[in-house]
Amino acid sequence: MNYPNIQAEDLAVYEIIKREEQRQKEGIELIASENYVSKAVLEAMGSVLTNKYSEGYPGKRYYGGNEIIDQAETLAINRAKELFNAEHVNVQPLSGSPANLAVYMGLLNPGDKVLGFSLDQGGHLSHGHPLNFSGKLYTIIPYFAKKETEIIDMDEVEEIALREKPKMILAGFSAYSRDLDWKRFRIIADKVGAFLFADIAHIAGLIAGKQLENPVPICDVVSTTTHKTLRGPRGAMIMCKEKFASAIDKAVFPGVQGGPHDHINAAKAIAYGEALKPEFAEYSKQVIKNARALASALQNRGYRIVSGGTDNHLMLVDLFGSKQITGKEAEKTLEHVGISINKNMIPFDPRKPMDPSGIRLGTPALTTRGAKEKDMETVADLLDSALIHRTDENNLAEIGHQVKEFSLNFPVPGIE
């Protein structure tokens, strides 16, 4: 993509875009929540659809002139329904956190009890962080992974649910590498009369690509971001059973939001169209193969992978436990050589959130650029060398060159 008009009108922003292009092109992206969208998605986000106001829903708007916008939103909705086998879809949520706020508002009253995966073990801020709306407005009861296996213990989830009688059970995560047992969650929710809410922000693309079980037919409500494994624009959507449709739609608008972002909704339609193609199933299969290859390449180099491996696109590495390096130290060292990762708590972490024992790695972005299993060996080597030589500036500079050389083999859509 070229930006001649930005270049002519605003050199400061143009140069920022060019520097970020270079960083993306020359770096190894292992942040599990990031991806590279297609040129078609980029174009839709830059289109004149951004000029429109469309409060309300297709056919029932509070603004005139929406007959064409209605077609874009309806297209996105219909493709999402097909992709996830959903009864009802709302594509208007501006991002994952506001989508979750709308789900809480649509189903609960302030103070109601919600069972969610403990944040320090892989849950998301919007699943009950004390500074987030979820933790401030609702009574959050956490469930945990089992200490020996580092896998969620469904018997314990059932025990807590029977004891606490929550109004809603939330299943979903930002940092957990194992499959969730959706059917067991359903059984538990039914036993205590709770709503079952799945937040599939991280794994939506793997579900759309038919590599993981689809919770949409099993749960009452499902939210997802659209910009992670699903590889669409930054945004979110909510899918639900028909009987919750009106509550969810009212909670999104006028409950939480005003006008939808019509250019983004058109980009969502494009991304869903891409995800319906057979190539996307191939892509999501490769994401998981690459994650498994990276996990075992790291294990072979003496790194302990939390729970012993991965079923999805991400893994947690117990760096402090296996290498006496902290997550913060690793993040800084790896950033220095052009490898992007997150420091992350591991289950039962003896260390603090700002300098935890672990790091989180994911393969969606590198897989979009065309990397395969054998490339994960190279990635593991580069990461390992950087950590080994973390105090040796000359060595780090050389590793930085190798990272750049490796990355330039894999094009990023939209960057020349």
Ligand X SMILES: *Cc1c(COP(=O)(O)O)cnc(C)c1O
- The residues annotated with a catalytic role in the active site are 53, 55, 199, 225, 228, 234
Backbone angles phi, psi at 285, to 5 degrees: -60, -45
Contact between 365 and 36 under an 8 Å Cβ cutoff? The reply is yes
Would you state the structure tokens that stand for residue 242, as one six-digit string? 């028909």
Rounded to the nearest whole angstrom, what is the least distance from the CB of residue 102 to ligand X in the complex?
12
225 binding ligand X? (CB under 6 A):
yes
Nearer to ligand X, 56 or 93 (CB): 93
Nearer to ligand X, 189 or 204 (CB): 204
Rounded to the nearest whole angstrom, what is the least distance from the CB of residue 261 to ligand X in the complex?
13
Nearer to ligand X, 133 or 410 (CB): 133
166 binding ligand X? (CB under 6 A):
no
Contact between 118 and 146 under an 8 Å Cβ cutoff? The reply is no
> What pairs with residue 318 in β-bridges?
304, 358
Q: Which stretch binds ligand X (CB under 6 A): 140-148, 152-160, 199-207, 396-404?
A: 199-207
Nearest to 248 by CA among 125, 87, 85, 83: 87
Binding test (CB under 6 A) with ligand X, winner from 28, 72, 92, 96: 96
Q: Where are the alpha helices (DSSP H) in 2-66?
A: 4-9, 11-26, 39-45
126 binding ligand X? (CB under 6 A):
yes
Between CA 114 and CA 259 the distance in angstroms is 29
Q: How do strand 168-172 and strand 113-117 relate by DSSP bridges?
A: parallel
Q: Which stretch binds ligand X (CB under 6 A): 59-67, 91-99, 240-248, 385-393?
A: 91-99
Nearer to ligand X, 264 or 337 (CB): 264
Backbone angles phi, psi at 105, to 5 degrees: -65, -35
Q: Which stretch binds ligand X (CB under 6 A): 89-97, 109-117, 318-326, 375-383?
A: 89-97
Geometric angle at alpha carbon 414, from 286 and 292, rounded to 5° = 15
Binding test (CB under 6 A) with ligand X, winner from 35, 132, 174, 367: 174
Binding test (CB under 6 A) with ligand X, winner from 61, 79, 88, 124: 124
Rounded to the nearest whole angstrom, what is the least distance from the CB of residue 127 to ligand X in the complex?
7
Contact between 298 and 282 under an 8 Å Cβ cutoff? The reply is no
226 binding ligand X? (CB under 6 A):
no
33 binding ligand X? (CB under 6 A):
yes
Torsion of CA 249, 251, 252, 255, to 10 degrees: 130
Q: Binding-site residue total for ligand X (CB under 6 A)? A: 15
95 binding ligand X? (CB under 6 A):
yes
Q: Measured at CB, which residue is nearest to ligand X? A: 96
Rounded to the nearest whole angstrom, what is the least distance from the CB of residue 45 to ligand X in the complex?
15
202 binding ligand X? (CB under 6 A):
yes
Binding test (CB under 6 A) with ligand X, winner from 106, 172, 209, 233: 172
Nearest to 54 by CA among 42, 41, 66: 66
Nearer to ligand X, 33 or 257 (CB): 33
Between CA 329 and CA 319 the distance in angstroms is 10
Binding test (CB under 6 A) with ligand X, winner from 29, 73, 150, 199: 199
Between CA 338 and CA 230 the distance in angstroms is 24
Residues 357-373 as b/e (b if ≥16 CB within 10 A, e otherwise) read: bbbbbbbbbbbbbebee
Q: How are strands ordered across the β-sheet holding 88-90? A: 88-90, 236-240, 221-225, 195-199, 168-172, 113-117, 139-143
Q: Which stretch binds ligand X (CB under 6 A): 11-19, 171-179, 279-287, 349-357?
A: 171-179
268 binding ligand X? (CB under 6 A):
no
What's the Cα-to-Cα distance from 180 to each of 173, 176, 266, 335, rounded to whole Å? 10, 9, 31, 32
Nearer to ligand X, 172 or 327 (CB): 172
Rounded to the nearest whole angstrom, what is the least distance from the CB of residue 229 to ligand X in the complex?
10
Contact between 160 and 189 under an 8 Å Cβ cutoff? The reply is no
Binding residues vs ligand X (CB under 6 A): 33, 95-97, 100, 124, 126, 172-174, 199, 201-202, 225, 236
